Each structure stands twice: as C-alpha cells, then as structure tokens.
Amino acid sequence: MTQGPALNAYVFCFFFAASFLIAGKRPILQLSTRLLLVGVLALGVGYVLSEHTPWHDVIGTAALILNLVFIGFALIDYVKWHKEKQSR
C-alpha cells in the first residue's frame, strides 16, 4: 500500500484532474456528467469519513455504482466532443 508523500501526490493529481474536468474552459463533459463527477467525489469523501459506521459499505457500493455510471457518461461525452472537433 502506498503511504506518505506518494499518497499525497496521488490525491493531489486525482483532485486536480477532477477540477480540470469540472471547470475547464472548453469542457469535454456535459453539465450532467460534471454533476455526476461531483457526486462521485462527494461519495468518495463520505466513504472515507464513514469508516467506522454502519453506512460505510452502503456508501462504498453507491460510490462504485455512480463511478461506473460516470465513466459511461464520460465516454459518451468524449465521443461526442471528438466528433464535433473533427467536423470543424
């Protein structure tokens, strides 16, 4: 398991990439997909904060499902963005 400074670097890169996808000048993702990403991030934080509660497994499962839905939406948005970019 990764610890210390390496873990801090991974967390920074993850949140930097997420913030780029949410607030980029030329957004690749539609608004609905960006809202899903915010939901995934919120559930991720909720999962970490609920470690010793009975809701930990439920939040983890919800985060996993929402993450899969987000990936699907992001792929659809990327393909649409790529087609629009090529047609210009």
> What one-character-per-residue DSSP string does 3-65 give?
-HHHHHHHHHHHHHHHHHHHH-SS-SS-HHHHHHHHHHHHHHHHHHHTTTSTTHHHHHHHHHH
What integer is the mean pLDDT of 56-67? 89
Q: Which two tokens stand for residue 35?
A: 């809202």
pLDDT for 18 equals 81
The model's pTM: 0.77
State the distance between the two ends of the chain, measured CA to CA, in whole angstroms: 46
7-51 pLDDT tens trace: 667 677 777 778 777 887 777 788 888 888 889 888 888 888 888
What integer is the mean pLDDT of 71-80? 90
